Amino acid sequence: MWWAGVGWRGGDVEVAAVDAAGAQTVPATGFAGRDLPALIGLLHGVVARSAERLAVVLDSSTGLVDGHLLAAGLTVYRADPPLLPGRPPDASVPAADLARRGAANPAALHRLTVSSGALAGREDDYLDAIARSATVERELTGAGRYLARGSGTAPEIALTFDDGPHPGFTPQVLDILARYQVPATFFCVGINVAGYPELVRQVADAGHLVGNHTWSHPYLPDLGRDEVLRQVDATAAALRTAGLSTTLVRPPYGARTPEALTWFAELGLTTVLWDVDTGDWSVPGTAAILDEAATATAGSVILMHDAGGDRTQTVEALPRILEDLLSQGYRFVTVDRFVA
């Protein structure tokens, strides 16, 4: 078995590979955020020229690529902080270190699948952090700095899309929204904003709202204060370069801690979650996405995705979702409508 590590450094996604003994076979190579197809091509090339199977290792601060790697047919694992050296500022664990960790101790890794998502094996930790956040959530809701759904006093629903922009799927989503004259809110990942500023501008020019979804889509409970703030600050800077600004932030996976929520509020940011998860991130089939969207009620915030993996099913389901909810008399609004 050969092992590849995929991480991030600044605005680049980095890859390196080693053989079963840990000897380097592919030196650390960086790809700009918009060049993810070239990175995947490199990995497929490694598979083609070697006689060994290849597995890819990520750390929990690199959540922007696992869905794309899995959609490309690659085997993907996650290594957690206890197994790894510390992360440098503004980067994940280096790709070569991730690859060597896979070769040295594969049994300690968590295998990821499209249906499990990037947090496979960490469900208890995830739920515990959310439970600990409840008191702070109530306090911030009263201050207008936390939102999971609107009041429900008007027949309004907010449709949201995470993880973009993506050159293939974001334009398709925008075309459908334009056809039905529906506004939405797009929570964008910073590396993708830096890679595709023209797409972010296209989202805003079409009348949609843009929010901050961190720089590299990390699992925030694994990050310290400085790392969390770098994630949102770097994304805000990329948005400013595209001529945009936002006071809305959405933590990846909805994973939050009382501390992270407080840090966001101290920056003047409002944390936006959701009450309806269509589950499109797990590629469950168009019918399943439609069923989940149908549970929306007045004030709902619906979670969907325009990037982060194969979003063909999202694009297929979206017209039906809009038609069904519009036929029930709902109006679509951007999430700022629900912020106190």
Q: 114: which DSSP letter?
A: T
Residues contacting 106, CB < 8 A, separation 6+: 1, 3, 55, 77
Catalytic residue set:
162, 305
Query: If we measure between CA atoms, which residue out of 339, 328, 325, 338 comes closest to residue 182?
Result: 325
CA-based R_g, the chain, Å: 20
Query: If we measure between CA atoms, which residue out of 329, 306, 13 comes closest to residue 186?
Result: 306
d(CA 29, CA 96): 10
92-112 burial code (b ≥16 CB/10 A, e <16): bbbbbbbbbbbbeebeebbeb
| Tokens of residue 43, six digits | 């990995």
Determine the longest span between alpha carbons in the chain, in angstroms. Answer: 62
Pairing of strands 24-32, 12-18: antiparallel
Angle at 263 between CA 65 and CA 134, to 5 degrees: 90
Burial class (CB in 10 A: 0-12, 13-18, 19+), 231: buried
